[in-house]
Amino acid sequence: MLTVRETSSRNVFVLDGVWDFKVDDQNSGINDRWFTGPLPDSQTMAVPASFNDVVTCTEARDHVGYLWYQREARVPRGLGEDRLVLRFGSATHSAIVWVNDTEVTRHEGGYLPFEVDITDVSGSEGETFRLTVCVDNRLSWETIPPGYMKKDSTGRERQFYYHDFYNYAGIHRSVKLYTRPADHVENVTVVTEIEGTTGIVNYEVVVAGGADVSVRLLDASGQQVAEASGAKGRLSVPNAHFWAPGDGYLYTLEIHAGEDVYPQTVGIRTVEVRGTELLINGKPFYFRGYGRHEDNIVRGKAHDNVMMIHDFELMKWQGANSFRTSHYPYAEEVMDYADREGFVVIDETSAVGLNVGIGGGIATAENKLKTFSPETCNERTQAAHRREIEKLIARDKNHPCVVIWSIANEPESFTEESREYFAPLAEAARKADPTRPVGYVNVMLATPDNEKITDLFDVIMLNRYNGWYVQTGNLADAEAALRTEIDGWLKNYPGKPIIFTEYGPDTMNGNADLYRRPWSQEYQIDMLAMFHKVFDSYPEVIGEQMWNFADFSTVPGIMRVGGNKKGMFTRDRNPKPAAYAVRERWLRMREELGF
C-alpha cells in the first residue's frame, strides 16, 4: 500500500487532534448501534495516542474490548471527479469504521495501515459527515500477536499474552483523508541494482483505471536524471549516488498516470547475504544498535515526530547504525526517516509471543498448553501471520533502509509442529520479496542442537541472556556458555552469519553497586562488555543489537519493576552509565568501519 503523499494531483487532510471517545465497558456499543449518532457520555481522546495512559482509572486503562472514537469531518471543496480516501496508519488491534450510518471498512492487525474509498458515502463537497471508529484491543489465539482472555474472580475479562510489552491500544498513527484522481497510481515496486558506478532502477507500476504511465527519476536536488514511459521499465543512472548506511541519499521516481502524480522515494542500493557476510552495495555491514519499542510516557505506542527525531538523535549520538522494529511494524514516518538518515533496519512483523514456554522473558515451565495445536496457534493463526508478512512487505518493500525481513520474534522453533508452521511462511516471505534476506529471531530455548527451522532462513538472529536469565551474575560462566553456543551454531549451520538481536540485563538507573551485581549500573556495563568481547572474537558474528534502546512498559510481574529496564536509556531518554561505555565502543567502530 502506498504511503500518503501530497502532490499536484492529491490533497491530504490530516484528521489528527481531539476526538470524542468512549471505553465500551459492557462491549455493547455495536449492538446498541453507537455509530448511528453521537457517542453516549463520551470523553475526549487525542489521536494519535494509546488511550491507556491518558485515562486515569485503572479499569478503563486495562479495559478489554471495544474503544469508540468519533469526530466530524468534511468532504473537501473542489473534489470534482476525484475520489476521497480515508486512511489509518494503524488501529490496534482491529477496527470497524462507519461514515455516518454506513459501515465502510473493517481491518485486522494493529500495526499496519488500511484505507477505504468513501466518495460514494461521505456526501457532497463542503458537507460534513460523522466518522466513527470502533477499535478492538483483544488478542486471541487467532490474532497476530496471539493472546487469550480469562475472567477474573469478579467476572471481569482479563487479557493475557506471551509477549513482554504492555498491550497498548487505540488509534496509534495518523488518520488522513486524501483525494486522488479516479485513474491513479495504485502501487509501485522498485528494485535497484548497481553496475560499477551506474545505478539501475527497475520499476513496476500498477494503475487503477486505464491511464498510461510515464516516470521521471529526479535526484535529491530535483534534477531529472532519467525518464521512461510504460508501467514497467529499467532506468539507468550513470555516476549514481548510492544509498548507503550513514548516507541516506534518495532519488524520487515521479510517476505520472493520467492526471495523477505520485512521488516514490528510491535509494539505489543492493543487499545480499554471501557466506557469513551481509553485503550492502557489495561491502560487509556490521549492525550496531538495538531492538526498540514504540513506547513513550503517556503516549504509549502513538507515533510522535518529536520522540522519533529525538530517538534517532540519541542513536546517532551513541554511534548506532541500525535497529530492529521489535516486535511489530513501526509507523511509516519512522521508515521514511530511517531511509533519509541512512539507518539500516531489520523489519519485523507483529508475530511475537508464539511460544507458551516464555512469559515476560522467563521460561514458564508450569504451562500445560502447547504452542501449536488446534486450540492455540492453529492454521487460522498461520493464515493471519501470512497476511501480516505479506502486508508488511507490501508496505515497506521500497524502503532502502530495510535489509532483512524478520517474520517472527522468539517463536517456538524446536518442535516438528513449529517447522510445519514456519516452512510455508518463510516461503511466503521470499515470494513476496525475492530481493531481501529473510530471517526470524531465535529464543534461548532453541539451541543449535534442538532447533528445527534455521535452515529455512538466510541469517541466524539470536536473543541471548547469558548472565541474566541464566548464569545470573556469573559472567565467567555466562561467557563460557555463550561461546559454546556460538560454536554449536557455527558447527551445525556453517556458512550462515549470526546477528545478536537481543542481549543485556535489566538495570535500575541510579542503582550503583561496588560489587557490580545484577540490576546495578555496573553490571549492565560488565555484561554488555562480556558480550562484545565474545562478538569480537567471531568474524561470523555480524551484528550487535542490544535489548533495548530504552526502558519500556510491560504487564506487571515479579521480574519487572515498573516495566522492562534493559534500556540503554531510561524511558524518558536519559543515558544510563552503560550508554557511555557502549558509545565509546561504537564511535570507535564507526570511525574504523565508516558509518
**Least distance in angstroms from the C-beta of 165 to ligand BDP:** 6
**What is the sign, positive or negative, of the torsion defined by CA atoms of 381, 383, 384, 390?**
positive
Grid cell for residue 383: 493464515
Looking at the Cβ atoms of 52 and 463, the one nearer to ligand BDP is: 463
104 burial level (CB within 10 Å; 0-12, 13-18, 19+): middle
**Does position 328 bind ligand BDP by CB under 6 A?**
no
Q: In this complex, which beta carbon is closest to ligand BDP, that of residue 361 or of residue 448?
A: 361
Calculated CA dihedral for residues 310, 313, 319, 322, nearest 10 degrees: 70
User: Three-state SS across 45-98?
Assistant: EEECCCCCCCCCCHHHHCCCCEEEEEEEEECCCCCCCCEEEEEECCCECEEEEE
Alpha carbon distance, N-terminus to C-terminus of the chain: 31
Residues contacting ligand BDP: total by CB under 6 A: 11
Which of the following is catalytic: 502, 522, 540, 544? Answer: 502
Catalytic site includes residue 502 = yes
Closer residue to ligand BDP, CB minimum distance, 43 or 364: 364
* Residues paired with 519 in a beta bridge: 507
**48, 89, 357, 361: which one contacts ligand BDP (CB under 6 A)?**
361
- Nearest-Å Rg of the Cα atoms of the chain is 24
C-alpha to C-alpha distance for 498 and 524, rounded to whole angstroms = 22
Question: CB–CB of 579/507 below 8 Å?
Answer: no
- Report how far residue 83's alpha carbon sits from residue 310's, in angstroms, rounded to the nearest whole number: 37
What residue is closest to ligand BDP based on CB?
A: 361
Cis peptide before 367 (omega within 30 of 0): no
Can residue 547 be called a binding residue for ligand BDP (CB under 6 A)?
yes
| 3-state SS record for 103-135 | EEEEEECCCCCEEEECCCCCCCCCCEEEEEEEE
- For residues 432 and 299, the answer to whether their CB atoms sit within 8 Å is no
Tell me the closest approach of the beta carbon of residue 547 to ligand BDP, in angstroms.
6
**What residue has cell string 548472565?**
467
Q: Provide, rounded to whole angstroms, the least separation between the CB of residue 553 and ligand BDP.
A: 11
Q: How far apart are CA 180 and CA 169, in angstroms?
A: 30
Interacting positions 549-568 with ligand BDP (CB under 6 A):
564, 566
Residue 262 neighbours by CB under 8 Å, 6+ apart: 2, 5, 7, 10, 184, 185, 188, 254, 255
Nearer to ligand BDP, 311 or 410 (CB): 410
Residue 589, helix vs strand vs coil? helix
Site string for ligand BDP, 221-240 (x = CB under 6 A): --------------------
How would DSSP label each residue in 397-444? TT-TTEEEEEEEES---SSHHHHHHHHHHHHHHHHH-TTS-EEEEEPT
Q: Which is nearer to ligand BDP, 159 or 463 (CB)?
A: 463
Task: Give the residue, chosen from 115, 136, 164, 260, that forms a contact with ligand BDP under the rule CB under 6 A.
Answer: 164
- Report the residue number, 327 or 399, with the smaller CB distance to ligand BDP: 327
How many of the other CB atoms lie within 10 Å of CB of 319? 19
> Which CB, 116 or 445, lies closer to ligand BDP?
445
584 annotated active-site? no
Write down the catalytic residue from 348, 388, 410, 479: 410
Residue 463, interface with ligand BDP (CB under 6 A)? Answer: yes
Nearer to ligand BDP, 114 or 165 (CB): 165
Residues of span 7-36 touching ligand BDP by CB under 6 A: none
270 contributes a contact to ligand BDP by CB under 6 A: no
Q: How far is the CB of 469 from ligand BDP (least distance, A)?
A: 7
Asked if residue 409 binds ligand BDP (CB under 6 A), the reply is yes
Q: Is 521 in the site for ligand BDP (CB under 6 A)?
A: no
Minimum gap (Å) between residue 564 Cβ and ligand BDP: 5
Shortest CB 410 distance to ligand BDP, Å: 5
Out of 295, 339, 396, 410, point to the residue binding ligand BDP (CB under 6 A). Answer: 410
CA 171 centroid distance within chain: 16
One-letter amino acid at 321 equals N
Least separation, in Å, of the C-beta of 150 and ligand BDP? 22
As a three-state string, the secondary structure of 251-319 is: EEEEEEECCEEEEEEECCCCEEEECCEEEECCEECCEEEEECCCCECCCECCCCHHHHHHHHHHHHHHC
Least Å distance between CB 412 and ligand BDP? 12
CB closer to ligand BDP out of 164 and 254: 164
Q: Considering the rule CB under 6 A, would residue 339 count as an interface residue with ligand BDP?
A: no
CB count, 10 Å around CB of 59?
10
Nearer to ligand BDP, 327 or 386 (CB): 327
For 480, other C-beta atoms within 10 Å of its C-beta total 14
Q: Does 502 bind ligand BDP (CB under 6 A)?
A: yes
For residues 64 and 51, is the Cβ–Cβ distance under 8 A?
no
| Angstrom distance (rounded) from CA 303 to CA 47 | 10
Shortest distance (Å) from residue 559 CB to ligand BDP? 8
Minimum gap (Å) between residue 578 Cβ and ligand BDP:
15
Q: Which residues bind ligand BDP (CB under 6 A)?
A: 164, 327, 358, 361, 409-410, 463, 502, 547, 564, 566
Enzyme catalytic residues: 410, 502
